[in-house]
């Protein structure tokens, strides 16, 4: 089951994102930042165990631009379509909000390519985006692939 996150989900979202961050697969997010951004997140709940097995966020960056971020699925649940369902929910919400473009910075470009995203040069992203990148230990040598989808 896919739904918008609730405040009670934040600690579980944090643990899931942190498991990816420890592997260097995404940026860590402070717990306080997750509480502030809880409305951005979706969670995917396993029908049997009722546990959160995935999370993903749509972050609004500008009047016409959003970002899919923090897409994480428990290792044992990967390759079952959970990530795709969450990403599509973010894209549907972006369209409903009137955004014209959605981007992702990713280590899994094949996943986003299957959703219609195309690789772009990071320099086309607004400077406002880079405010968070400065906090990254890999800045300015970012090794993520920037991808964009026009809605």
pLDDT tens string for the chain (151 positions)? 999 999 999 999 999 999 999 998 888 889 999 999 999 999 999 999 999 999 999 999 989 999 999 999 999 989 899 999 999 999 999 999 999 999 999 989 999 999 999 999 887 886 555 556 555 555 556 678 999 999 9
The H-assigned helical ranges of the chain are 10-22, 31-36, 82-97, 109-114, 130-133
C-alpha 49/C-alpha 131 separation (Å) is 38
Give the chain's domains with CATH numbers.
2-150 (3.40.630.30)
Question: What pLDDT was estimated at residue 125?
Answer: 81
Instruction: Give Dmax over CA atoms of the chain in angstroms.
Output: 44
Residues sharing a CB contact under 8 Å with residue 47, sequence separation 6 or more, in sequence order: 1
Question: What pLDDT was estimated at residue 140?
Answer: 57
């Amino acid at each position: 089951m896919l739904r918008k996150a609730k405040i009670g989900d934040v600690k579980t979202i944090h643990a899931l994102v942190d498991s990816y961050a420890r592997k260097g697969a995404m940026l860590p997010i402070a717990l306080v930042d997750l509480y502030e951004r809880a409305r951005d997140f979706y969670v995917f709940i396993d029908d049997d165990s009722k546990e959160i097995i995935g999370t993903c966020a749509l972050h609004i960056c500008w009047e016409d631009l959003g970002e899919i971020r923090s897409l994480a699925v428990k290792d044992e649940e990967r390759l079952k379509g959970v990530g795709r369902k969450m990403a599509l929910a973010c894209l549907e919400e972006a369209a409903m909000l009137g955004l014209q473009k959605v981007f992702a910075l990713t280590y899994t470009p094949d996943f986003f390519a299957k959703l219609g995203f195309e690789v772009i040069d990071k320099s086309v992203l607004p400077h406002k985006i880079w405010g968070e990148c400065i906090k990254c230990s890999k800045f300015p040598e970012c090794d993520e692939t920037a991808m964009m989808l026009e809605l």
